[in-house]
Amino acid sequence: MISVEEWQESLAQAGELTAPVVDRIITVHGSRGKRAIEAVAEARVKEYRDFTVVVGHTEEYVIEDGECPCEDSLYNLDRGDPTQQCWHTLAVEIARRIDAVDHHDMWYSEVREFL
Protein backbone atom coordinates (compact mmCIF):
# COMPACT_ATOMS: atom_id res chain seq x y z
CA MET A 1 0.00 0.00 0.00
CA ILE A 2 1.28 3.46 -0.90
CA SER A 3 1.36 5.99 1.93
CA VAL A 4 0.60 9.69 1.95
CA GLU A 5 4.29 10.38 2.52
CA GLU A 6 5.22 8.34 -0.57
CA TRP A 7 3.06 10.34 -2.98
CA GLN A 8 4.19 13.58 -1.35
CA GLU A 9 7.84 12.57 -1.80
CA SER A 10 7.20 11.48 -5.39
CA LEU A 11 5.54 14.79 -6.13
CA ALA A 12 8.38 16.74 -4.52
CA GLN A 13 10.93 14.85 -6.62
CA ALA A 14 9.00 15.23 -9.87
CA GLY A 15 8.02 18.87 -9.26
CA GLU A 16 4.94 18.32 -11.38
CA LEU A 17 1.95 16.04 -11.74
CA THR A 18 3.36 13.13 -13.71
CA ALA A 19 1.35 10.01 -14.51
CA PRO A 20 3.06 7.93 -11.78
CA VAL A 21 2.46 10.64 -9.18
CA VAL A 22 -1.18 11.00 -10.21
CA ASP A 23 -1.58 7.21 -9.92
CA ARG A 24 -0.10 7.28 -6.41
CA ILE A 25 -2.38 10.09 -5.27
CA ILE A 26 -5.45 8.33 -6.63
CA THR A 27 -4.35 5.00 -5.12
CA VAL A 28 -4.18 6.60 -1.67
CA HIS A 29 -7.13 9.02 -1.89
CA GLY A 30 -9.45 7.59 -4.55
CA SER A 31 -12.04 9.90 -6.06
CA ARG A 32 -11.08 12.70 -3.66
CA GLY A 33 -7.55 12.59 -5.06
CA LYS A 34 -8.88 12.69 -8.60
CA ARG A 35 -11.06 15.73 -7.86
CA ALA A 36 -8.11 17.47 -6.18
CA ILE A 37 -5.91 16.89 -9.22
CA GLU A 38 -8.64 18.26 -11.50
CA ALA A 39 -8.95 21.39 -9.33
CA VAL A 40 -5.19 21.98 -9.51
CA ALA A 41 -5.16 21.43 -13.27
CA GLU A 42 -8.00 23.93 -13.64
CA ALA A 43 -6.22 26.55 -11.45
CA ARG A 44 -8.98 26.52 -8.84
CA VAL A 45 -6.62 26.87 -5.85
CA LYS A 46 -6.41 30.57 -5.03
CA GLU A 47 -4.16 32.26 -2.49
CA TYR A 48 -5.22 35.62 -1.09
CA ARG A 49 -3.54 37.75 1.57
CA ASP A 50 -5.69 36.18 4.28
CA PHE A 51 -6.85 32.78 3.04
CA THR A 52 -6.32 29.96 0.62
CA VAL A 53 -9.51 29.16 -1.25
CA VAL A 54 -10.49 26.20 -3.40
CA VAL A 55 -13.18 26.98 -5.92
CA GLY A 56 -15.71 24.17 -6.15
CA HIS A 57 -18.47 23.81 -8.69
CA THR A 58 -21.07 25.44 -6.44
CA GLU A 59 -19.12 26.99 -3.55
CA GLU A 60 -15.74 28.27 -2.49
CA TYR A 61 -13.98 26.59 0.43
CA VAL A 62 -11.62 28.49 2.72
CA ILE A 63 -8.77 26.24 3.82
CA GLU A 64 -7.02 27.24 7.06
CA ASP A 65 -4.27 25.22 8.72
CA GLY A 66 -5.13 22.19 6.59
CA GLU A 67 -8.76 22.27 7.70
CA CYS A 68 -11.81 22.60 5.46
CA PRO A 69 -15.37 23.46 6.49
CA CYS A 70 -16.98 21.27 3.80
CA GLU A 71 -19.56 18.65 4.76
CA ASP A 72 -17.27 15.81 3.69
CA SER A 73 -14.63 16.93 6.22
CA LEU A 74 -17.16 17.57 8.95
CA TYR A 75 -19.18 14.37 8.68
CA ASN A 76 -17.40 11.67 6.69
CA LEU A 77 -13.70 11.74 7.43
CA ASP A 78 -11.54 10.46 10.28
CA ARG A 79 -9.23 13.39 11.07
CA GLY A 80 -6.74 11.00 12.63
CA ASP A 81 -6.25 9.14 9.34
CA PRO A 82 -3.96 11.04 6.93
CA THR A 83 -5.41 9.14 3.97
CA GLN A 84 -8.81 10.67 4.69
CA GLN A 85 -8.82 14.25 3.48
CA CYS A 86 -11.42 16.12 1.49
CA TRP A 87 -10.48 16.97 -2.06
CA HIS A 88 -10.23 20.68 -1.17
CA THR A 89 -7.37 20.19 1.31
CA LEU A 90 -5.68 17.72 -1.03
CA ALA A 91 -5.86 20.27 -3.85
CA VAL A 92 -4.11 22.85 -1.66
CA GLU A 93 -1.37 20.37 -0.69
CA ILE A 94 -0.77 19.38 -4.31
CA ALA A 95 -0.87 22.93 -5.70
CA ARG A 96 1.59 24.20 -3.09
CA ARG A 97 4.03 21.40 -3.79
CA ILE A 98 4.15 22.12 -7.52
CA ASP A 99 3.81 25.92 -7.29
CA ALA A 100 0.41 25.86 -8.98
CA VAL A 101 -1.41 28.16 -6.58
CA ASP A 102 -3.08 31.14 -8.24
CA HIS A 103 -1.85 34.11 -6.14
CA HIS A 104 -3.96 37.24 -5.70
CA ASP A 105 -2.56 40.31 -3.97
CA MET A 106 -5.82 41.21 -2.30
CA TRP A 107 -7.93 40.23 0.69
CA TYR A 108 -10.45 37.45 0.19
CA SER A 109 -13.08 39.58 1.93
CA GLU A 110 -12.73 42.10 -0.92
CA VAL A 111 -13.39 39.37 -3.47
CA ARG A 112 -16.44 38.12 -1.55
CA GLU A 113 -17.99 41.60 -1.84
CA PHE A 114 -18.08 41.21 -5.64
CA LEU A 115 -19.73 37.77 -5.56
Tell me: the pLDDT tens digits for 81-99?
A: 988 999 999 999 999 999 9
Asked if residues 45 and 101 have their Cβ atoms less than 8 Å apart, the reply is yes
Calculate mean pLDDT across residues 33-60: 96
- pTM value? 0.92
Is residue 102 classed as helix, strand or coil in its secondary structure? strand
What single letter denotes the amino acid at residue 12? A
Task: Return the closest-CA partner of residue 11 out of 104, 90, 111, 115.
Answer: 90
Tell me whether strands 52-55 and 45-47 are parallel, antiparallel or unpaired: antiparallel
For residue 10, give its domain range.
Answer: 4-114
How many structural domains is the chain composed of?
Answer: 1
Calculate mean pLDDT across residues 106-112: 83
Calculate mean pLDDT across residues 44-61: 94
